[in-house]
A and B are shown apart, each in its own frame.
Chain A
């Protein structure tokens, strides 16, 4: 049975004297009755698929509706000038998030993390760090386990689909997973990665799912940037010793409550939010 709470996962860590990622891996191996080596191999495959996906980005492609596709290329050109407000590193994170979002919209191969619409957040945070700081690959794969473990607990207590809980469940969860994952890479302990996740989730709580025309394009591609930047900020706060005053499990439960109260027009129906704007209606008429 997978962990129902971060507390339960922490207890396993303490009982066996292991790190958070290891507790996630052991649970996976036990649940599916496989060897930990096979679980690791599979996770390594996911990591490799993320690396490959970023590299396949093609700035000349456009999505089927023609709304998105070039954003990753534009950001990359801009950051080359060396004069970004967010600094070189964060601009690279943003470019990678856009590339993945565009890849998804243009029917390229991506890794859902936790969903296809939020596929850019985790690789933007992890792959950028891996390449810029030449971090050991093993550490990154451990971080993938951290992300997956956190995501599984969110799935068990709340949800990961925009249609169920709004964008807070997709980009919000992706951001919480990425915050915890990069916190692990930087040497954060299990409590710190929990705080990082909690802070990332709180910052995006209430985010609605309002895709124009119901397509995973606008505002989804750019929300990946929001999720990635937010994850980095939350991880830095946690590493600075700042704690979430609300425990992470209770933050997840609050997210569930907010999602349950959210109007159906704001849950991937393409009706409310920016999907309901005049411009969106014009776009929809042109596409369909």
Chain B
């Protein structure tokens, strides 16, 4: 449910809360999930983002988010130039994405000779967004609260491992969702938490059998 500062607010750079402010948020959450500024980003715009994105600055907004800017950053219109200065390569293209919300962007981030992350998210208006895919797996979260994302093999014990480790570091689980591609295949857990998950807990989880990758979106503190 919207609070009064969703009615008056956000403070943002125009012209559209869904096509500009929401797009910045998508870029920013992509960057936070990646853990750093990508060396290269490929951005696909779908539906209304592709059709009217240019006039709304959706393209510049997504790049601004990837550079770590927030929706009220006055440098958003200059984000293409800033990306060049900061050494982030990028490509933006329209692309029809299957079964996607009209305001969807897909972002593929790469680190030179290193990691890669693929994210799909859509803008729901008022500057708010939902992440819908991570590395090809279906998910559904807002990025408004601290979120732990665990990629694992679909096998018994993984969920217990996560809840045990969170319990050990006194982190309360607010919501938890589990998704899997198929039985015994790869799966993903999306856990929204009331507290920050400490680095030690993430390392502990990474060492557990069946857990492939752990990502934490920290909204309590700045990068």
A residues contacting B by CB (< 8 A) are 1-2, 24, 28, 31-32, 42-43, 45-46, 49, 63-65, 103-117, 119, 122, 144-145, 147-149, 151-152, 155, 160-161, 163, 213-217, 270, 287-288
Contact = CB atoms under 8 A, between A and B. Distances in A.
A114 B13 contact: no
Interface in B3-33: 3-5, 7-17, 20-21
A216 B16 contact: yes
B14 A115 contact: no
B38 interface: no
Interface residues of B, number: 33
B52 A213 contact: yes
Contacts of B3: 2, 28, 31-32, 152
Of B3, B8, B76, B126, the most chain A CB neighbours within 10 A belong to B8
B168 to A, nearest CB: 27
Nearest to B124: A161
A109 B2 CA distance: 22
A46 B11 contact: yes
Contacts of B51: 214, 288
Contact of A112 (B12, B52, B54, B77): B12
- In this complex, the member of B2, B57, B72 whose beta carbon has the largest number of chain A beta carbons within 10 angstroms is B2
Contacts of A287: 54-55
A117 B16 contact: yes
B125 interface: yes
Contact of B14 (A2, A105, A213): A105
Contact of B57 (A24, A107, A270): A107
Interface of B: 1-5, 7-17, 20-21, 48, 51-52, 54-57, 60, 72, 74, 76-77, 125-127
Q: Among B15, B55, B76, which residue has the most Cβ atoms of chain A within 10 A?
A: B15
Contact of A152 (B2, B12, B15, B56): B2
Given A107-B77, A216-B15, A151 B5 contact: no
Contact of A28 (B4, B17, B56, B127): B4
A109 B9 contact: no
B95 to A, nearest CB: 17
A278 B69 CA distance: 39
Contacts of A155: 2, 7
A109 B17 CA distance: 12
Nearest to A42: B5
A52 to B, nearest CB: 9
Contacts of B76: 107
Nearest to A217: B15
B4 A24 contact: yes
24 contacts: A46-B5, A49-B11, A104-B14, A105-B14, A107-B13, A107-B15, A108-B13, A108-B74, A109-B14, A110-B11, A111-B9, A111-B11, A111-B12, A112-B9, A116-B17, A116-B20, A148-B5, A151-B7, A214-B51, A214-B52, A217-B55, A270-B52, A287-B54, A288-B54
A27 B74 CA distance: 33
B7 A114 contact: yes
Contacts of B72: 109
B8 A113 contact: yes
A148 B14 contact: no
B15 A105 contact: yes
Given A109-B12, A117-B16, 12 more contacts: A2-B2, A46-B11, A104-B15, A105-B15, A108-B14, A116-B14, A117-B15, A145-B4, A152-B2, A213-B52, A214-B51, A214-B55
A1 B3 CA distance: 10
Interface centre among A109, A147, A155 (most CB of B within 10 A): A109
A103 B11 CA distance: 13
A46 B6 CA distance: 11
B12 A147 contact: no
Cβ-closest 5 pairs across A and B:
A104-B14, A214-B52, A151-B7, A148-B4, A216-B15
B15 A63 contact: yes
A108 B17 CA distance: 13
Given A148-B7, A160-B7, A112 B127 contact: yes
